[in-house]
Structure 1
Amino acid sequence: MELSIPLDYATDPRGAADQAAALERAGLDAVWVAEAYGFDAPSIMGYLAARTERMKIGSAILNVYSRTPALIAQTAAGLDAMSGGRAIIGLGASGPQVVEGWHGKPYDKPLGRTREAIELIRRILRREVIDHHGITDMPLPGGLGKPLKILTQPVRPEVPLYVASLGPANVRMTAEIADGWLPTLFVPEKAKDVWGSALAEGAARRDPSLGPLQVVAGGILAIGDDAAAVRDFARPQIALYVGGMGAPGKNFYNSLAVAYGYEKEAALIQELYLSGRKKEAAAAVPDELVELVSLCGPEGYVRERVAAFREAGVTMLNVIPVGPDPARLIETVKNWL
């Protein structure tokens, strides 16, 4: 199991990236850069490439609507060149709130777009001449364009492509064609019940040359006799996702909370959040859910949580270290893996 951290929507991206780079010396294997409708991820990833030597640098995520497959492939090739072959491209359909509200694109055919993007990105990185017609036409029919291949030679002909997915059909596709999976609000004890069938069905159609599906998941990390209280830092983010990341009936994270067995709580969190009562929404997040998506408590307990994530198939533990010495936390957990 590898160890990574997320770089979320930082107001000071350079400072956050510097802190992440410093953790490389503590044994950190990777950093994941968020985007949504904040700073763009590739700019920060390029800065991280210059500030680090060993750790992998991933996007979490680039959505498949706001960039063409060709641009994503160019970005993958550029980041891989700048980092010396350390890029990981996390992709996803995002959701209507971001795609339609921020990028002004219709939120249509999310699975088809993701599947097609992965196919085209891989073909482009292999320097194939692209003549493709589907959701994306390359070149446009009837125009002056002609089939092209990428001008430059990628460092690697295959940059790993990870997919953020939650729904059964999307997870099934991820297990079939992606190099890795980026689930959100991952509860290891409930993962098999929620996603087991979809993962198995996708794996049955998986090309063996892809190797095993990599899985990235984790949560807030704090170690100490009083560290359980740190779990409460997760409440606002859980409330944001379950309550505010989409309209009623169109919130994938809310549907996940329901699948976990928190139907009444998910409805209440959404009602409170969408009415502007965000603190009350955070307080309504079930204690059990907060605990199960976190790794906070005495050392023995946290080691048990790490083991639970490993047993659920997680291959990269993605943690948010909280405390006066994040490097020490990373070193401690890295020694357990």
Structure 2
Amino acid sequence: MGVTVGMPWPGAEIAAEAEAVGFGAFCTGEFVDHEAYARLGEMVGATSSARVGTAIAYAFARTPYAHATAARTLAARAPGRVFLGLGSGAFTINRDWFGVPADRPVARTADLVRAVRTWLHAENGERVRYEGEFYSIDADVRAPVLGRVDVPVLLGGFNKGMAAAAGRVADGIIGHGLFTRSWWDDVVRPAVAKGRTESDRVEPHLEHGWVITAVDDEAPERAVADARRMIAFYLTVKTYDPYVAHHGWEEPVAALRAAFRSGDTEGMAAAVTDEMVEAIAVCGTTATAREMLAARAGSLPADVAYLAPPSFMVSGRRKAAYFRASLGLRDAVLS
């Protein structure tokens, strides 16, 4: 079937333009200023044929019941179009923002996926039961409101452990915007495949992923700088240390983290090397971006690639311009 080109939710107006030129998927993450399922409801109402889903919703911020009920509600409004992407989130966010346990995140996430699927697959007249290590369900729902709903459940997986869990228990994986050809081919895909060998699942495994995309024909240098800042901001997180070591980028990452600690955002961007930009992002002029996409053929996610504008220190107006500029890249992804 080939890759579907999508984007993070750009708002109803740009989404209509994107659907009109063949963009086939939209996703939403979440943060303190935007809740995933509320935004997904907006996406369902403002699109007609595109796949829509969370990529990702914070897994531990809600119960399995809450995730499944939200997905069930929205799937009824957009049959066959909704997917559910879950991510464990940072340990400190779970502890300090949500006040929930987040130890052993791989095992906890896998258990949550099974519990969510128990609710999604619940039939009328049958007791809803699940007993896992972290979650248990024993619900006698007498009202005739259930019935199996086939909503794909995907996991945001970065390192080997979560990627293997995605292969083992989920319908697919959602790749981070930092993913390179080497990280997909040498680390993530083998880990997913290993997880699949430990599963009895036979359905094709889905690959979604974000691609940092910043295109501006009038100010390409600014677009590249925004991409550099986004890369730098992501790499301030130590979770990605195995990825940094895999690519041999310890020195520039140490420099950008030092700049981040001192509040030097320009220094952060300057520490990101040209090699890193070329391996991670699609940026500059439209012509350059098309060349970068061609060079990355085979290193994009196999099913859905979200062309995602930088968000770190980028205004809403400039993000909208990046969204619109990316509309002209769809055929370059497919070629």
User: Do both share a fold (TM > 0.5)?
Assistant: yes
Question: Could you tell me which residue of structure 2 aligns to residue 3 of structure 1?
Answer: 5
Distance 2:218 2:150 in 1: 45
- Letter of the 2:327 partner, please give it: I
The corresponding residue for 1:317 is 305
Deviation at 1:137, TM superposition (A): 2.6
RMSD: 2.9
Q: Which residue of structure 2 aligns with residue 132 of structure 1?
A: 130
In structure 2, how many angstroms separate the alpha carbons of the residues matched to 1:300 and 1:271? 31
Output one character per residue of 1:102-132: Cα deviation in whole Å (capped at 9) or x when no partner: 1122321211221112112222111153223
State yes or no: 1:179 paired with 2:171.
Answer: yes
Q: Is the aligned partner of 1:167 residue 2:159?
A: yes
Structure 2 runs not aligned, ≥5 long? 310-318
- Which is further off, 56-65 or 205-214? 205-214
Are 1:294 and 2:281 counterparts?
yes
Is the Cα contact below 8 Å between 1:220 and 1:234 reproduced in 2?
yes
Q: Which residue of 2 aligns with 1:268?
A: 255
Q: Give TM-score scaled by structure 1 length.
A: 0.82
Question: Equivalent residue of 2:175, what SS?
Answer: coil
Offset at residue 194 of structure 1 (A):
3.1
- Map 1:247-286 onto structure 2 (within 5 A): 251-286=238-273
Structure 1 CA distance for aligned equivalents of residues 189 and 204 of structure 2: 18
Instruction: Please list, as runs of the form range in 1=range in 2, the aligned pairs for 1:1-337 lying within 5 A after superposition.
Output: 1-7=3-9, 16-128=11-123, 129-133=127-131, 134-139=133-138, 146-148=139-141, 152-153=145-146, 157-184=149-176, 185-222=178-215, 227=220, 230-243=223-236, 245=237, 251-296=238-283, 297=285, 299=287, 302-303=290-291, 305-306=293-294, 308-311=296-299, 314-320=302-308, 326=323, 329-334=326-331, 337=334
Distance 2:306 2:122 in 1: 32
- Contact kept, 8 Å, 2:294 with 2:332, in 1: the verdict is no
Identity of matched residues, %: 23
Structure 1 residues 332 and 266: alpha-carbon distance in aligned structure 2, compared to 1, 3 A threshold: closer
Quickly say closer, same or farther: Cα 1:239–1:35, change in 2 above 3 A. same
User: Aligned AA for 1:2?
Assistant: T
Give TM-score scaled by structure 2 length: 0.83
- Paired with 1:323 and 1:105, the residues of 2 have a C-alpha distance of 35
Deviation at 1:335, TM superposition (A): 6.7
AA matched with 2:90: G
Give the secondary structure class of the aligned counterpart of 2:305. Answer: strand
Shift of 1:72: 0.4
Structure 1 residues 81 and 44, CA, compared in 2 at 3 Å: closer, same or farther?
same
Q: Name the CA distance, whole Å, in 1 between partners of 2:232 and 2:155.
A: 23
Structure 1 stretches lacking a partner, 5+ long: 8-14, 140-145, 246-250
